Amino acid sequence: QTGAKPKKHRRLKKKGSIVKISILGFLTLVGILMSVLSFHLPFNNGVQKYNSFATSVQMSLDLKGGFYAVYEADDKEVDGLSLAMDKTRDSLENLVVSAYSESTVVRQGVSRIRVQAPEAEGVQSMLETVGKPTTVSFKINDKEEMNGSHIESATPVKNYGGVAIAVVIKFNDLGKKEFDRVTGDNIGQTLVLEVTPKGQTVNTTNISLNQHITDGTAVISGGLQSFEQATTFAAQLAAGSFAAPLKTIEIAPLAPTLGQNTQLFVAIAAGVLLAAVIAYLCVRYKFMGLMAAFAFVMFSVLLLFGLAVVPWVRLSIAGVAGVLVGVALAVDAAFVIIQKVKEEYKAGKSLNASLAAGFHRGFMAMLDTHIVSLVASIVILGFVPGVFKGFGLVLLIATLVSMFSMVFVFGKLLRYMAAILGDKKADKMGLKRGEGIVVDEESGVIMHTDVERVNPVEMATNKA
């Protein structure tokens, strides 16, 4: 018999581990409820409503549908109509796509433009507004200094420079020079922005000129109480800047491009996937699998939270693919870590030593795949246009959540479960010793009892 004492690892206390797992379990349960349940809050007489993570995730046209609008030039006899319509299409695209990603703005024939935008706060109001020819004027002491032709784009934004809701106006080259002159020559004055939709009364916004502005950008925040209001105001400014003013031909709801029941099918598929992964982990890997399933549920909750709160996310079918890749990364990480721990325990190490060594080896393998995924998502966000940006953003969020869930959460859970079960019940974690290896549970000494070590020369002599 030969023996070797393993390196000692700090053991966690059983009671403390039970308390910590209970706390994590409670937090996970709260997260699950917040992910799927919406309810009215006991504030403002119950008017204020909490929306679950799942219902707060913004959907794109292919999953949720939205609205489409068709516009026509208000004056078809204008000189250079085709060029004017191209410029108008560009201005309209700047407005719509900046406010609602994955929208589309295309020319139809000589004098028409078609817009498709996903269902979201303020989108219908915006589409109605841009179809009303509007006059925009910037005045000081009732003298017009600039007008809508100087505006390049107007964009509604959230959380801009410490302001909750604002509209950012960017001027074109000529407008930038004029705004430079106006703000430089009139510091301390009030610049009055007049917006007059056709057939309606004038709306005025007072802008205090407190400094000389040279970058061709103006930020309007006063009086904007909601994002929908900001969107409407930005649409009015954009309408006043069009080279070819537009009139509305049609605005109507647009069904999801993948079918009416797409969201339901996606939700069912997600539920089946979650249940299948949890069942497989628990059956195949016992208590280690149970802890992996625990971490995977936390991964799912945190991923939903990330998709709900990151403002640039608009989930499309490409985004769903990003979610699936993130799920694969998380599950693969769990499998790798579990297998490495089993290998270490099979070789004769104690339970705590097996967890430490196996987790370290599994982490290094897991880290490589997650880094590759992070790099890929960043490249997609930086260089790939269109709908694939949604895939890149969702993949980035899913990868970061996977790293947190499988490194921090799963690692902690394994240690807590080991403290609760102890070395004598390691088999309940799906762990087995290798053939011929016996460990003295009292001393921790590894003994090879079934392996004969015979000198090859002596064996040959005996056979002769």
pLDDT 10s digits, 353-384? 888 888 888 888 888 899 999 999 999 988 87
pLDDT of the residue at 451? 44
Indicate the residue type of 449: T
pLDDT 10s digits, 24-74? 999 999 999 999 888 877 765 655 678 888 888 888 888 888 899 999 998
pLDDT above 90 covers what percent of the chain?
34
Q: Does pLDDT of 454 surpass 60?
A: no
379-to-192, 366, 369, 374 alpha-carbon distances in Å:
44, 20, 16, 9
- Listing from the earlier edge strand, what are the strands of the sheet with 66-73? 104-108, 112-118, 66-73, 246-254
Nearest-angstrom CA–CA distance, 21 and 158: 38
Nearest-angstrom CA–CA distance, 198 and 338: 68
pLDDT 10s digits, 122-153? 888 889 888 888 899 999 988 999 999 999 98
pLDDT above 70 covers what percent of the chain?
89
10 Å Cβ neighbour count for 292? Answer: 30
Average pLDDT over the chain, rounded to an integer: 84
Tokens of 327: 């799920």
Helix axes of 262-309 and 410-421: crossing angle, nearest 10 degrees: 90
pLDDT of the residue at 462? 37
Q: Does pLDDT of 439 surpass 70?
A: no
pLDDT 10s digits, 69-121? 999 998 877 778 889 999 999 989 888 887 777 788 999 988 999 999 888 87
Tokens of 145: 């200094």
Decide if 326 contacts 313 (C-beta within 8 A): no
